[in-house]
Every structure is written in C-alpha cells, then in structure tokens.
Amino acid sequence: MIEAFAPGRVNLIGEHTDYAGGLALPMAIDLGTTVRGTSGGDVVRLVSADEPDPTTVPLDVADPASARPDWARYVAGVVAELRPTTGFEGSITTTLPLGSGLSSSAALELAVALALGFEGPPADLAALGQRAEQIASGVPCGIMDQLASACGRSGHALLVDFADGSVQPVPVPPEVDVWVVHSGQERRLAGSAYAERRAATERATTQIGPLGSATLADVHRIADPVVRRRARHVVTECARVRSFAAAIAAGDVATAGLLMDESHQSLRDDFEVSTDALDALCERLRSESGVLGARLTGAGFGGCAVALVAHSTPLPTDVRGWVVRASDGARRR
Ligand code: GLA
C-alpha cells in the first residue's frame, strides 16, 4: 500500500507577489490531502471521498483540461507532467475545505505526484505541481501554493524569494496562533481576473523592471493609473513581507498584525481582489479581543481570511474557521 500526504497552505503575508518575482511568507498547515492505493495497471484510477464520480486517466493522457469530472483535471495534469510508466488504483481523502483559497488543488497535485512515484527535491515537486495546475485550470498561477506544500516545516512559516526561488524557514512565535476563517463566499471569477492582474504586473515590469526590487519612485513613473496601482501593491507588499519577517523574528507580534491589516487594504484598494464579504470578515475579526491583524489569503475574490491572534484566543463560535498549525511538507508515508 502506498500512502502520500500533501498539506494545504495559508499565506501569512505577501499576496500576488509570486509571479512578479517578489516575496511571500506562506506556511504549510495541518490540513491536507491523502492518496492511498497500489500501483499497477495502465491507467490511474482514483475515487474521492468528497466527489460522487471516480476518474480514470490513461497514462498517455493528451488533453488533461478535458478530463472529467472537474477535479480529475488536476490528476490528469500530474499524469501528463510526470508520465509514470505504471498505473495506480486508489482513493483520495482530504481535511481541507475545497475551493476556499487554502490550496486544496496544490495539495491534490502533490499527493498524486508522490503516490505515482515522483522522486526528487521539493522544489522540483512544486514546479511539477504548478505546471499541472496551469494545464488543468488554464490559470497562469504562480508557484507559491505548491512550494509551500512541498517545503513546509513544522512550527515555521517560509520566507520565499521568488526572484531566486530561495526558501528560508522562519519560526512562528509561540505567543501567537493562526486562524483561517471562511468568508462564506466561494471564489468567483478567479481565473480571468487572476490572469488580468498578472498581465498588469507584467506590463509594469516591462516599464520599470522586476517588481521585487523596484521602488515607489519607480512605480510613480508608470503612466497608466491602473497598472501603477497594481505595481504599487506588489512593491509595498514585498516591503511588508520583509518587515513582517523581521517583526516576528524580534517577537514584535503587534507590528506583524498591523502589517497584515495594511496588506488587506492594499489588496482591497490597489490590487482590487477583495470582496465585500472578505472586507466585512476582516473588520469583524479585528474587533475581536486577542486578534492582532487580519487579511484575505490566497488569490482573493472570495475564500478565506487569515488572522494572527494571541495564543489560545478562542475562535468565535459563529464562524467557519480553523486554528491551523505550521506543518511539514508533502511526503510519502
Ligand atoms: C493563488 C495562486 C498563487 C498566488 C496567490 C496570490 O493562490 O495559485 O500562485 O499567486 O493566488 O498570492
């Protein structure tokens, strides 16, 4: 019996910076996806505990995006990228809420790749998962989700510099907990709006160079007001990631919380990926005693908020939320 597990991730700070060569600070969480089964045969056949229909993917699958049911596109994307020579028969279970911005698709891709025999360093596993995600979904996503799931370290967030792919574990201070709370809104329009945001940052990059190392003075040279605002988000967000990492290393969790609030404002006003439900949820969380800061997490357009809270603050009983812990990355067990 083969068993592979891959965690979801929550991003503490640094949103929409990965594909722009900037910085982010995600962590793998203790919710994730498990694939169990045996290898053999010449197809990958999987049943999911959360979905009514199984999937059968041929090893020579030609068009992963047309695999059915919908979730099978991610399995087919992995098969197309990995090209295993032996099939697999097994089942998928997950403790992640699906389609909520906690990277359930990245966890599925990485768990399937490991179950199908992927061998190699975590960075290569992440790159394979990212390619599978792009082919399966048609969304030009960055690599943050897969990298966080592949490289997770118990008790640590990961300071990722997407300019060179470096990943530096940063201890999460014991005096804080991390909450993930669902806005009640499934993500909407994520694909086309995501591609549009990415294109705007690419236009900015052609004008002022890589946004990970650009300054606000560079941003002011951008003539188009929308492109300028998108670039301003990325440049200020990278500065906030640096300040956040320094603040938690110094035990200054109050400053870290304020930086999360500022990140949300920038995502709302400059990058325009928040929603009324996410804004209201973050406001509400900030009004709870013990909450140090709150922001949307993931691509936006719905899904979840993340909050940094004083250790052992009780999660409000009237929200759909989770107290998540920083966990190890994807692995075969
Ligand atoms: C999604 C993408 C990531 C990243 C975030 C926004 O989760 O998959 O690559 O761009 O949105 O930070």
Note the pLDDT tens digit of each residue in 20-75: 999 999 999 999 999 999 999 999 999 998 888 999 999 999 999 999 999 999 99
* Chain segment 140-161, per-residue pLDDT in tens: 999 999 999 999 999 999 999 9
Reported as a pLDDT band with limits 50, 70 and 90, residue 99 is confident
pTM for the whole thing? 0.96
Amino acid at 213: S
* Ligand 1 pocket check for 324: Cβ under 6 Å: no
Nearest CA, atom 11, ligand 1: 299
Mean pLDDT of the chain: 96
Vertex 201: Cα angle to 21 and 269 (nearest 5): 110
* Ligand 1 pocket check for 109: Cβ under 6 Å: no
Nearest CA, atom 2, ligand 1: 141
**Which of 18, 145, 177, 261 is an active site residue?**
145
Q: List C-alpha distances in Å: 199 to 193, 205, 254, 328.
A: 10, 10, 35, 33
Ligand 1 atom nearest to 101, measured from its CA: 7
Is 124 annotated as catalytic? no
* Ligand 1 pocket check for 21: Cβ under 6 Å: no
Average pLDDT score over residue span 200-209: 98
The SS3 assignment for 201 reads helix
Is the pLDDT assigned to residue 98 strictly greater than 90?
Answer: no
Nearest CA, atom 9, ligand 1: 142
Is the pLDDT assigned to residue 120 strictly greater than 90?
Answer: yes
* Ligand 1 pocket check for 237: Cβ under 6 Å: no
Give dist(CA 105, CA 290) in Å, integer. Answer: 32
Reported as a pLDDT band with limits 50, 70 and 90, residue 195 is very high
* Ligand 1 pocket check for 144: Cβ under 6 Å: yes
Reported as a pLDDT band with limits 50, 70 and 90, residue 189 is low
Say how many Å lie between the CA of residue 212 and the centre of ligand 1. Answer: 16
User: Who wins on pLDDT, 271 or 188?
Assistant: 271
Amino acid at 16: H
Q: Distance from CA of residue 306 to its chain's centroid?
A: 12
